[in-house]
Structure 1
Amino acid sequence: MAVVIAGERSGAGKTTVTLSLLAALQRQQFTVQSFKVGPDYIDPMFHHYITRRACRNLDPVLTSEAYVCQCFYTHQHNVDYALVEGVMGLFDGAGTDDRASTAHIARLLNLPILLVLDCSRLSRSIAALVHGYCTFDPRLQFAGLVLNRVGSDRHLAVLKSALEPLGLPILGVLRRHDEITIPDRHLGLVPTAELPDLDALIDRFADLGKQCFNWNILLPLLRPSFNQAPYFSLPIPHSPLPTPQSPRVAIAYDRAFNFYYADNLELLQQFGAALVWWSPLTEPFPQPIHGLYLGGGFPEVFAQPLSANRAARLAVKAAIEAGMPTYAECGGLMYLSKQLVDFDNRPWDMVGVLPTIARMEKRLTLGYRRAVSLPNNLFVAPETVTWGHEFHRSVVLGQSDAPLYQIQGYDPQSSFSLEGWRIHQVHASYVHLHWGANPEIPDRFVRSCLEYAQLKQA
């Protein structure tokens, strides 16, 4: 059936519960497919590390309801178990309604909810809280509860007594001493590539999962089913997969750049690109390369080694100035700037293609963006409306002479602004896009890379 792991609020413990379930199942060598509600990149990294399968983001704002359904039902085929990790609190959505919330996805996919509760400051009041969550939207179905941060046996007895009249099974109990802490910093959890003791951490999650859950009830709930919701069919590109003549697209992937949706990378391949993994931190720029994809990440944390790899920076700049198509998002935009000024106000030389400086600040820019493509845009047709997401603490100095988008916040009453940079064949923007519902973007990008490859061969 698959279940949705939801929290009654942010920080209730849904990531701990999700990773514990995934690790316990993986330890038994089951094949598990995970999903994540919302635009997040880092939680899916942990899912992927445990399951060895790409976690899929389910976000109806960045894509569509139809794409969410298609993605879910496509990727739960041929697996033993499947689960969805929610986002924020159960009913917390993109705006004043619950669109793109965990509840929205649970309704859309007709999945039961496993509600995670932070019990650290609750006793009998937990019953009122659970009753409210279970009756607030009668369209939702609840599989059971997970009690997190339970202080003692007596505390657990009080909680169980209060909850008993509600008739919801308690499928997991995590004590306060069971809490496993994953380090975080200015944009959330520290990614998997930066955690040297990650295997030991995953072992602890697996132990927690084995000990703390009622698997007799959980396992049947986690088995995939294909009769839960209508199946929405979307056109999927069927271009040839990469061949020796395919354009070679470098994917910046290391500790500094690792924010990519699995669907985006797969779409590049479906449109015929051959992906070449490359580390701007430690490696020379590979050759031959006909296109570059610079995703988001944490270049501000690794500004010194990025700057120190001068040969790679110069090679990227030369290739871009020679016309190489380049798609850069957020961290990628910062890398293409003249300099990156870190949190300690230290400037570091970057590629220097964009005539601007990226500077770190304390203020967080966060939220969905409605982006209308301007005629200057390379890979998005003019006047196309697409939805993206911003999540950064940097700003770029000055206004682009050739912006890509007119953007607006999720609130239709919010103000408009111009955003993005077009220089040479570079598409550089703070706005992260999911290409699932916009396959023309990777199609245009790969076509541009192919034209560049043919030009180089002429």
Structure 2
Amino acid sequence: MTERQLPRVMIAGTGSGTGKTTITCALLRALLSRGKKVVSMKCGPDYIDPMFHREVLGTKSGNLDLFLLGEAGARSLLGHSATGADLAVLEGVMGYYDGIGTTTDASSYQAARVTGTPVILAVNAAGMSLSVAALVRGFGAFRPDSGIAGVIFNRLPPALYPEIKARVEAETGIPVLGYLPKLPDCALESRHLGLITAGEVAHLREKLDALGRAFLETVDIGRIERIAQSAPPLSFDEPARPVRIPATIAVARDKAFCFYYEDALEALERMGAKLSPFSPLEDKTLPLQAGGLLLGGGYPELYAKALSENAAMLDSIRAALQNGMPCVAECGGFLYLGKGITTEEGERYPMAGVLPMEAHPTRRLRRFGYLTLTARRDNLLCRAGERIPAHEFHYYDTDQNGADFLAEKASRPERWECGYASDTLYAGFPHFHFGGSGEMAARFLQKCAAYERTMGR
């Protein structure tokens, strides 16, 4: 067990859409402007918010997911990732107490407790005055160990701030650290339940710079730093030294495929993997030395025409998989391996045709949330009967989702069949995290290394 003094703070919200990511990015930019070396983490399985953190920091941002990693794994990830940092900023997920079902399991609150992180509550004050005091008081008193050490208001008119600050502090005893006014020129657009990806935001760097400047003008950043410094030492287990299994993995990375847990990719690299990025949109063939393939999630439906027209890449992937190349394809990558994708406009575009299903839009979330997969047969990732913690988030569905795993919803007694699995393939809607299982990562890399040897590479 390692113990490290790590100043840290979490930006949590009263719910989705309160401005957690805006305030987090503004805080990160402001800290960087003060010469601080900062690391950031997103609570939960979100892929998009860490992209904004990376744009702010110019470095990686990870996911502290208690369901996918477990409590010990989350502490270890935070401790390992924050090596050499002056301060860690965690961003919460959904509302502060919102976890699996109607529990606090895997919530921001649980993450704060597990990591001993003080919390600053982001409150959307638009359209409220004294009611914000009731809201803050309720969140602070809902659990005796809430850990809420301060409040920042979002979208608050500057003229109201002095009086609102005084009343909230008098009514709740919780310090008000500042506010962000409405900043229409800095707005970060949303899609579904979250933001659009960082690469889609015009003039993102300028917006983030402006957010940082506004934050320094209206928020007491010195007090935030003191709150972060009040965190107790972080106790965590150092990651075990992994067995090295050298293999080259082709990783699809472009506008259509961008949903990856950076920590999961790093876990593969620590085990000996060489990650070779390529673009299914732009490139014509897979990287020549690849012994395996990662097709992550993303928005292939938005780029279905371009993906379909890149026939050379489709041919390359089809031939490689038919020749036995190991492949993990999650969600969007799963759709890409099917026969075709029909867009919301009703246009159908052929895809790789490796799997027998057709993808279509549904206009609502399908099987959203945490789940556990139980393998029905030995496969690329695990043996029959073994269980994998996973997560689903998608608006598209298919007519044949596979039946090689049994999925069980974490929040209620609901089961369904899903996924295609073989000795060289995992393909399905559920996302998982290689960082949560060294054995699963090792099985994948061993198959990739064996394929490379077979191909004489």
CA-based RMSD: 1.9
Taking a change above 3 Å as real, the CA distance of residues 108 and 424 of structure 1, as seen in their structure-2 partners, is closer
**Shift in CA distance, 230/80, structure 1 to aligned 2, threshold 3 Å:** closer
- Residue 251 (structure 2) aligns with: 251
For the residues of structure 2 that align with 1:80 and 1:27, how far apart are their CA atoms? Answer: 13
1:423 offset after TM fit, Å?
A: 5.6
AA paired with 1:305? Answer: A
1:391 alignment partner AA: F
Give, as a single letter, the amino acid of the residue that structure 2 aligns with 1:446: L
State whether structure 2 residue 134 is matched by structure 1 residue 128: yes
Q: Is the Cα–Cα contact under 8 Å of residues 35 and 57 in structure 1 kept in the other structure? A: yes
8 Å contact kept, 1:112–1:140: no
Per the alignment, residue 410 of structure 1 pairs with 410
8 Å CA contact 1:252, 1:293 repeated in 2? yes
Please, which of 23, 27, 35 is the counterpart of residue 17 of structure 1? 23
Are 1:80 and 1:224, in contact at CA under 8 Å, matched by a contact in 2? no
Aligned to 1:214: 220
Alignment correspondent of 2:168: 163
**Per-residue CA distance 1:51-78 (angstroms, 9 max, x = gap):** 1221111111112011111111222220
CA contact (8 A) 1:126 1:162 kept: no
Among 237, 240, 254, the alignment partner of 1:236 is 240
Q: 1:432 to 1:141 in 2, by over 3 A?
A: same
- Name the structure 1 match of 2:430: 431
**CA-CA distance at 1:20 after TM superposition:** 0.3
Higher mean displacement: 372-381 or 131-140? 372-381
Query: Which structure 2 residues correspond to residues 151-190 of structure 1 after superposition, within 5 A?
Result: 151-153=157-159, 155-165=160-170, 166-177=172-183, 180-186=186-192, 188-190=194-196
Please tell me the residue identity of whatever aligns with 1:163: V
Contact 1:48 1:54 in 2 (8 A): yes
> What are the within-5 Å matches in structure 2 for residues 367-386 of structure 1?
367-386=369-388
The one-letter amino acid of 1:252's match is: A
TM-score computed with the length of structure 1 as normaliser: 0.93
The amino acid across from 1:348 in the alignment is Y
**2:57 is aligned with 1:51:** yes
Q: Which residue in 2 is equivalent to 1:356?
A: 357
User: Is residue 296 from structure 1 mapped to residue 274 from structure 2 by the alignment?
Assistant: no
1:294-348 deviation per Cα after TM superposition (whole angstroms, max 9, x unaligned): 0000100111111111101101100111110011000000111111111111111
Question: Structure 1 residues 82 and 240 mapped into 2: Cα distance closer, same or farther (>3 Å)?
Answer: same
Tell me which residue corresponds to 1:102: 108
Q: Which runs of 5+ in 1 are unaligned?
A: none
In 2: Cα distance, 1:177 partner to 1:184 partner: 15
Output the CA distance in 1 between the equivalents of 2:384 and 2:188.
43
* Aligned amino acid, residue 379 of structure 1: L
* 2:398 alignment partner in structure 1: 396
Question: Counterparts of 1:445 and 1:260 in 2: how far apart (Å)?
Answer: 16
What is the rounded CA distance, in whole Å, between the counterparts of 1:303 and 1:297 in structure 2? 12
> Is the partner of 1:418 in helix, strand or coil?
strand
User: CA offsets, 1:100-141, max 9 Å, x none?
Assistant: 111111111111110111111221222222221111111122
Q: 2:335 is matched with which residue?
A: 334
Give the Cα–Cα distance (whole angstroms) in 1 for the partners of residues 230 and 249 of structure 2: 35
The count of corresponding residues between Structure 1 and Structure 2 is 448
| Cα 1:325–1:7 shift into 2, 3 Å | same
Q: Which sits farther off after the overlay, 294-303 or 114-123?
A: 114-123
Name the TM-score, length of structure 2 as normaliser. 0.93
Q: Does the CA-based 8 Å contact 2:375-2:386 persist in structure 1?
A: yes
Judged with a 3 Å threshold, the aligned counterparts in structure 2 of structure 1 residues 44 and 239 are, in CA distance, closer, same or farther, namely same
Q: The residue matched to 2:149 in structure 1 has which SS? A: strand
Once residues 352 and 219 of structure 2 are traced to their aligned partners in structure 1, the CA distance between those partners, rounded to angstroms, is 50
Q: How far apart, CA to CA, are the structure 2 residues paired with 1:157 and 1:179?
A: 24
Secondary structure, aligned partner of 2:75: helix
Residue number in structure 1 paired with 2:309? 308
Contact 2:297–2:333 (Cα < 8 Å) also in 1 = yes
Deviations, residues 197-233 of structure 1 (Å, cap 9, x unaligned): 12212222222222121022122333596x43542x2
The percentage of counterpart residues that share the same residue type is 34
Cα distance change on mapping 1:347 and 1:99 into 2, 3 Å: same
- 1:197 is matched with 203
CA distance in 2, matches of 1:106, 1:282: 42
Distance of aligned partners of 1:423 and 1:64 in 2 relative to their CA distance in 1, 3 Å threshold: closer
- CA displacement at 1:377 relative to structure 2: 2.6
